[in-house]
Amino acid sequence: MVSNDFRLLKEIKFHLDEILLLKRQIKEEESRITVIQKQIDGKEVQLEDLLAQQKEIHSVIASKEKELFALEKKLETSQSHSNMAHNQKEAEALEHEQSTLGKAVEELQENLLNLMDEEETASTDISKVNTFLEGSRQSLKEISEEVESKRNEYQNQIDDHDKEWKEHARALGDANKTIFKNGYNKFKESTPFAELNGQSCKRCGYGLDSTLHRAVLAQTALEICPGCNRIFLI
């Protein structure tokens, strides 16, 4: 009777191991989405910064242009007054004013040219990021579809294995069924079974004394690992 239970438990173990493997594969598939989503999130932050930068440059350009317009007007007015000087002193004052204004205009013009360069750089960067984002979103869509189809495929296999092990579990003798159920409930995300590694538990490393070791090898009754509480199955 017990040896039949051992046979059943080995079947159950096979299916549970397969389920664990499939669950891990689903997680791996899903991590492909996480990776690309993280890239997109990072680029979106970068895009926001660039857009804010561009907006700032635009507003500085607008105010500098206004300033330039006013200065040019002033220079024009000053120049139109050139022949109105009544004496040498007034003429020199006007000349000085025009030279100062002229320098300020030049400086502003240069300033504006630099700002326009910066604007162009920002615009180029923005379109690069937008192109990247467009590509990434397309990839995300394709990968998500792939992942979804893989997930369904793996889930169907999990469902099949689930049916299988449950059927085997129903056939266990009552006492062993209880031991198995307790282990299963306790180690849902892992495995209720432990193999041997020499004379130690492969799961937790617990060293078996020779009595327990012999009992496990005999496979006549279920033995529980004193270290991790799993069922020994060799």
Q: Does 228 bind Zn ion (CB under 5 A)?
A: yes
Question: Can you tell me the distance from the alpha carbon of 4 to that of 171, in angstroms, rounded to the nearest whole number?
Answer: 9
The residue (of 184 and 206) whose beta carbon lies closer to Zn ion is 206
Q: Does 227 bind Zn ion (CB under 5 A)?
A: yes
Q: How far is the CB of 232 from Zn ion (least distance, A)?
A: 8
The residue (of 51 and 204) whose beta carbon lies closer to Zn ion is 204
The count of chain residues that interact with Zn ion, using the rule CB under 5 A, is 8
Q: Which of residues 117-136 bind Zn ion (CB under 5 A)?
A: none
The residue (of 173 and 227) whose beta carbon lies closer to Zn ion is 227
Q: How far is the CB of 229 from Zn ion (least distance, A)?
A: 7
Q: Which of residues 157-216 bind Zn ion (CB under 5 A)?
A: 194, 201, 203-204, 206
Question: Can you tell me the distance from the alpha carbon of 171 to that of 1, in angstroms, rounded to the nearest whole number?
Answer: 11
Dihedral (CA of 50, 51, 52, 58) sign: positive
Residue 141, C-beta contacts closer than 8 angstroms, at least 6 positions apart = none
Question: Can you tell me the distance from the alpha carbon of 161 to that of 48, in angstroms, rounded to the nearest whole number?
Answer: 48
Q: Does 13 bind Zn ion (CB under 5 A)?
A: no
Q: How far is the CB of 145 from Zn ion (least distance, A)?
A: 42
Q: How far is the CB of 197 from Zn ion (least distance, A)?
A: 10
Identify the H or E element spanning 194. Answer: strand 193-194
Question: Can you tell me the distance from the alpha carbon of 51 to that of 145, in angstroms, rounded to the nearest whole number?
Answer: 31
φ/ψ of 233, rounded to 5, equals -145, 115
Which structure tokens are listed for 207?
């060293």
Q: How far is the CB of 195 from Zn ion (least distance, A)?
A: 10
**Window of 54-62, 120-128, 149-157, 224-232 that interacts with Zn ion by CB under 5 A:** 224-232
Residue 224 pairs in a beta bridge with 231
Q: What residues line the site for Zn ion (CB under 5 A)?
A: 194, 201, 203-204, 206, 225, 227-228
